[in-house]
Amino acid sequence: MSDDEFLRVSDVSKWYGEEKVLEEVSFEMDRGDVTVLIGPSGSGKSTMLRCVNRLAEAQEGSILLDGEEVLSPDLDVDELRREVGMVFQGFNLFAHLTAVGNVALGPRRVLGLSETAARERAEAQLERVGLGEQFDSYPAELSGGQQQRVGIARALAMEPKLMLFDEPTSALDPELIGEVLEVMHGLVDEGMTMLVVTHEMSFAREVADEIVFLDDGRVVERGPPEQLFDHPEEERTGRFLERIASHD
Amino acid sequence: MASATRPATVRERVADSDRSVGRLLLVAAGALFWGWLVVSWVNRWLGGVLVPVGQPLVPAGAVEATLAAIPGLAAYASDAAFVVELTPELARGTWLTVVITAVSLAVGFVLAVPLAVARVYGRFSAWVSLGYTELLRGTPLLAQLFVLYYGLNLASYVPGALSGVFARDVVWVAILGFTLNGAAYQAEYIRGALESVEEGQITAGRAIGLSKLETIYYVVLPQGLRYAIPSWTNEFVYLIKYSSLAGFITVPELYYRADQIASETFRYTLIFVVTGVTYLALVLTASKLMERVEDRVAIPGIGSGSEE
């Protein structure tokens, strides 16, 4: 265990009724690390991600974030979510607010910034994701790629110490994926700690410090991308990667 | 795509292409109707500065004489004069109809929003809200008014601050009745609209650290209330008309006055046609007003602002 350890997920299990969706999942991340969760649909990747900011409740195990137990019943979840940004597959932008309104809502209402300060912060974040021209556009007026970049800016505006990405490009047309990945690349370069669920294997290979392969709610294999992609130890990992590759 | 101008609603496009005579006539009729009402009310409040209180704004005799002189209209001269004679009473009644509707609707809305929120997002409170809504929607409004007025005799308990605002305190009982009943109906409309707000909106609100209530207030309601406008307008229109039930607990609103005059003069058809037209004018005003509101608050992608 390194001194820089930032997130430690230990033996996390979760059931939906009778069905076990996560089974003793464990992995660790250092500050500034990028960890990518891969696996077939229904393998529990998104659920695992949501357990970290308690949008889903794990029933067993432990998640230590910066030394604090996330699964503690005494934890203030709103406080936790202030520090953990999340980007959704379906963008989930606030439909009634402009791009600036979407990004400013958290700083204004959660962090308590003044109207002006919140707007300034929102504009700065939108510039950061390359949307300086779209401040006053409503979500319905933006392309999918633009909407997702607003979604990223909205999470960044809270100045999170960890960013969760839940299949951020899965709902996008192929030609719009690049602009979102580019923004995510930028965050990696800035040293943001990121936990990413994605099917973009080339992106994972480029930026990930560790890949965690989940199947049936279990960690089948994990390791650095070169090892996991090129020399998978488990047969299941190999089969999954072949299937993904044949789709590309 | 991102554009400086918002997409026009279908209604706007139709309105732009339809600067027709019909539209102008409607606007003119509306101006005449509301002009007559407002001048009548102001005249009464100021103690008869224009014409003595109780007198029509235009002398009935003059109208009769004018029409009698026009061939073809002469047959209607005496009926027209009769209607003109009625107008001061109708204007007085309409005032109460308008006030009762407006106050009940506004206060009912303030009650309906938390009722709807409780129903959709509450646990125990959802049952309370459901019980209230079903009780108030499931029993006749007239029976509710009778319970408040005859049963509980609330007219004699009107608080000092409110007592005397209207000539008769029973007006407050009617407002209370319509508020409580309307809140139940409004809550149903708003509930439906809240349920149509996507789940992902709430997830996103919670994910940035807003509490459940904050998410409802800042994210769900601004969208849900926009969705609710068209069906909520129905409630507005209904309330204008069923405010006439106040007549049954002796509130001298439009229907009550019309009924009184009719039973004295036996000219039921003429009087209730005129009364009906007055209600129609109020209803048309309400729906036009709500169309305006809907366009004003329209946002691309939500409700009528949507291109789909």
Q: How many domains does chain A have?
A: 1
pLDDT tens-place string over residues A193-240: 999 999 999 999 999 999 999 999 999 999 999 999 999 999 999 999
Residue B6 has pLDDT above 80, yes or no: no
Residue pair A28/A9 in contact (Cβ under 8 Å)? The answer is yes
Chain A residues with a Cβ under 8 Å from any Cβ in chain B: 53, 55, 78-79, 81-82, 85-86, 88, 90, 92-96, 105-106, 109-110, 133-134, 137-143, 146, 154-155, 158
Block residue for tokens 């998104």: A46
**Residue numbers in chain A where pLDDT is lower than 70:** 1-3, 247-248
Predicted pLDDT at B4: 44
Predicted pLDDT at B303: 66
Residue B183 has pLDDT above 70, yes or no: yes
CA distance A37 to chain B (A): 20
How far from each other are the two terminal CA atoms of chain A, in whole angstroms? 37
Distance of CA B87 to the CA centre of its chain: 21
Instruction: For residue A126, give its domain range.
Output: 5-247
Tell me the C-alpha distance between A187 and A32, whole Å.
Answer: 10
Predicted pLDDT at A4: 72
CATH architecture of B25-305: Orthogonal Bundle (1.10)
Block residue for tokens 């969705």: B227
Tell me whether residues A96 and B200 touch, CB distance under 8 A. no
Tell me whether residues B301 and A93 touch, CB distance under 8 A. no
pLDDT tens-place string over residues B22-73: 888 888 999 999 999 999 899 988 988 888 888 888 888 888 888 888 888 8
Predicted pLDDT at B155: 78
Closest chain A residue to B226, measured at CA: A96
pLDDT tens-place string over residues B85-117: 888 889 999 999 999 999 999 999 999 999 999
Q: What are the residue boundaries of the structural domains of chain B, listed by start?
A: 25-305
Tell me whether residues B2 and A146 touch, CB distance under 8 A. yes
Amino acid at A153: A
Residue B300 has pLDDT above 90, yes or no: no
DSSP β-bridge partners for residue A27: A9
CATH number of the domain residue A157 falls in: 3.40.50.300
